[in-house]
Amino acid sequence: GRLEAVTQQMGYHPQYLDSFLKTQHYLMHMDGPLPFDCRHYIAIMAAARHQCRYLVNLHVLQFLRAGGDPQWLRGLEFIPPKLRNLNEINKILAHRPWLITKEHIEKLLKISEWSWSLAELVHAVVLLAHCHALASFVFGCGCEQDEGLGGRGSLKPLSLGNQCFCEATAGNSYSQELLRINRKRSLDSCMELDSLRERMQRIHVETEGREEMRLLQQDREEGEEQGAEMGVQGGSSYGTPGWLSPLADTDGVVTGATNLACYMQDPDFGYQDFARRDEDQTQVFRVQDYSWEDHGFSLVNRLYSDIGHLLDEKFRMVDGLQSSAMAKRQGCEPSVFKRGIWNYIHCMFGIRYDDYDYAEVNQLLERMLKVYIKTVTCYPEKTNSEMFDRFWKQFKHSEKVHVNLLILEARMQAELLYALQAITQYMI
């Protein structure tokens, strides 16, 4: 039931929630180039870049339910080289997507027996961008502070009074059906936890047994004195290994991951202001030269069937959400206000629109809002629940969620534009 917190927040905008759930279900559970266990492990790698325990814990369980090898949960050193090679592009996409080049793409596609196919790589890139952006939403709306099914932090009960007027529509049966299915899956997950826990305990016992036999054999070979020394060293490693911590504690209760560092390399690599980049780095990305509508959509849809339509629907859905109350408070038209937020986010990633006057951003967005948007977009792990409550105190909860949906989609599109452009350059 851990997805319930995200569903609860997005539920303030049911039309968007429908589109989001369809896309996520297609990415994770429908036919595609990547095996199901690899999809969830890629999601773990992506979420770990922003230290998002909420998403890591969710995908650890789904990884195991998909038949994933529990040894992989020990960290990147224990996964196949092909999957581990994705780490570099994951790191760059998460923090400085403007650094991605066709050389990164070529390296992944031409590594002997560990090479990726174009279709697999596009699926992986969409997964990475999806999870990076979703981590921003999780932190931005306070879902990361959620504890158990009750929740805390910024989570509030979903009620008609807190919804935007445009979304308080009757007869949205598809959304209700998705929520019903999601709740049923939550119950199914709870019923499977006992068997999952038994499976992990059995694997743990077997692993301990093999390790003990190995140590005993080594003791006999190296002599009694060195064997005693090995016994002391080995004794401290017995018990519950750290890599099992995401799954069971001493009371046998499923708990959260305690150490996300094992899922990433170069943890100090983070966002840097694009405006302060070195002169020899990538120049400004101009949408007039490469856009989602004219270039990215057709490429991704050709290599990963139908995902382009789902992503395009999601981009259009968030753009179509009404924000008249927010815009009225800022003294402008809804479309002008939303475009200001969208273009500000893209600007932080070096993406510019030649037909936009960026002086509008400072006129439309007050300083506290800009600080909040930049934090959630560029380093969401630094966001706390107080920030959500502090910005725009006069706005409804649903309006704040709307801002976070704009952040999610603008960030995801920015990452995809850079990655898909690099793939296009490689193909040329």
Residues annotated as catalytic are: 52
In this structure, what DSSP letter does residue 6 have? H
In terms of Cβ atoms closer than 10 Å to its own Cβ (0-12, 13-18, 19+), residue 389 is middle
Helix (H, G, I), strand (E, B) or coil at 189: helix
Q: Are 162 and 151 in contact (CB under 8 A)?
A: no
CB of 348 closer than 8 Å to CB of 377: yes
Q: Helix or strand or coil: residue 340?
A: helix
CA distance 415 to 16: 20
Backbone dihedral region for residue 115 (phi beyond 0: left; psi -120 to 50: alpha; all else: beta): beta
Length of the chain: 428
Spatial distance between the Cα atoms of 319 and 335, rounded to a whole number of angstroms: 8
* Token representation of residue 377: 């977009």
Could you tell me the two tokens for 154?
């910024």
Cα separation of 20 and 313, whole Å?
Answer: 9
CB atoms within 10 A of CB 11: 19
